[in-house]
Amino acid sequence: MKKLGFGLMRLPLNSSDHTDIDMNKTTEMIDAFIAAGGTYFDTAYPYHGGKSEIAFREAVVKRYPRESFTVTDKLPIFSISRKEQMEEIFSEQLERCGVDFFDYYWVHSLGTENYKTAERIDAFGFISRKKAEGKIKHIGFSFHDSPDVLEQILNDHPETEYVQLQINYLDWEDKGVQARRCYEVAIAHKTPIIIMEPIKGGALASVPEKAEAILKEAEPDMSTASWAMRFAASLEGVLTVLSGMSTIEQVKDNVSYMMELKPLTERENEAVMKCAEIIRSNIAIPCTACRYCTDECPKDIPIPDYFTVYNDKERYAIQHWEAENKYKKISDGHGKASECISCGKCENHCPQHLPVRDYLKKIAAQLERR
């Protein structure tokens, strides 16, 4: 397997509707990925409002032999309250994806609270039974929490074959994400690692000028994003690194260095760590735009989009009126930040454990005209 995996989470769109996937562009991107030797695809039940799995079926399953690709899907533990739902959702996912089995199947987004749910409904028992039935080839879980919680889950479930972790050079020493320590726990358990968010939702593809200058001095012809991808892929024990690609240009860039990977040298590793310090001081809201927070928002607030406007205002010092106009355009047809009712569902789903409600109050105060 090549080190580059195609994450079907940020596919190109025809409109502002997150479910309105541009299938022509998606197919073009997937064709380029496969032509370059890529085989690994990653989707999930909530991605693109449920349309990611269908897009995978149309662009890959109906057009390529089953043995030419592998696919990962996930049990959405955060949307399940009854044991019976696991069978219902799993069957729906097979139908949506158009496959008879999944090569990899994870318990999705485990952390302290989701793990309690997983244990209560016996999620690991369920995916183990599906593996015995031949419906899953390999089982594991994706994870967003502390190293101690990861240690507990791996101790409780030695049947785990893989773990999917958020690892990037910005989060490597971050006190909240603790990427390095989580990585070390997985390595100690000899559990192979799939890496998600290597570019932190695009934040490491567009960095402050001072940080970019450090990278360009070291390798003038390499893209900014390439440093983040290579950092993740250079780690021992990593099976593949997911990239949620949105354009054909991103596909071409990724395959240009990921298919024949050259690990970071010690000097290059020092360069990205210097960049991390600079970037960390410039990010107002460390959101990765995964959109998990929007799935159950009763007010249909496009939280990641508002965070992007706010970050652009803080990082690039765009004019206040320009930020207001961008905010107004996004809010048309959606809930405003001020309409948040503080139900907390967004924070329960946030892999970054962000104080979303506090940020929305700040955004409403700054960007909503009175």
Predicted confidence (pLDDT) per residue in 280-308, tens digit = 877 778 888 888 899 889 999 999 999 98
Of residues 367 and 5, the one with the higher pLDDT is 5
Predicted confidence (pLDDT) per residue in 94-127, tens digit = 999 999 999 999 999 999 999 999 999 999 999 9
Query: What pLDDT does 280 receive?
Result: 81
Q: Which residue has the tokens 């019976």?
A: 84
Q: Is the pLDDT of residue 352 over 90?
A: no
Of residues 173 and 352, the one with the higher pLDDT is 173
pTM of the model: 0.83
Q: Is the pLDDT of residue 316 over 70?
A: no
Q: Is the pLDDT of residue 269 over 70?
A: yes
* 57-66, 228-237, 329-338: least confidently modelled range: 329-338
Predicted confidence (pLDDT) per residue in 219-230, tens digit = 999 999 999 999
Query: What pLDDT does 317 receive?
Result: 54
Sign of CA dihedral 14, 18, 23, 27: positive
Tell me how far apart the alpha carbons of residues 287 and 304 are, in angstroms, rounded to a whole number: 7
Query: What pLDDT does 288 receive?
Result: 82
Q: Is the pLDDT of residue 325 over 90?
A: no
Predicted confidence (pLDDT) per residue in 17-71, tens digit = 999 999 999 999 999 999 999 999 999 999 999 999 999 999 999 999 999 999 9
CATH classification code of 4-280: 3.20.20.100
Is residue 234 very low, low, confident or very high in pLDDT (cuts 50, 70, 90)? Answer: very high
* Overall average pLDDT of the 316-344 stretch: 84
Query: What pLDDT does 106 receive?
Result: 96
Nearest-5° Cα angle at 175, 172 to 176 = 95
Query: What pLDDT does 152 receive?
Result: 98
Domain ranges of the chain: 4-280, 292-367
Of residues 9 and 174, the one with the higher pLDDT is 9
Percent of the chain with pLDDT over 70: 98
Neighbours of 316 (CB within 10 A): 12
Summary mean pLDDT of the chain: 93
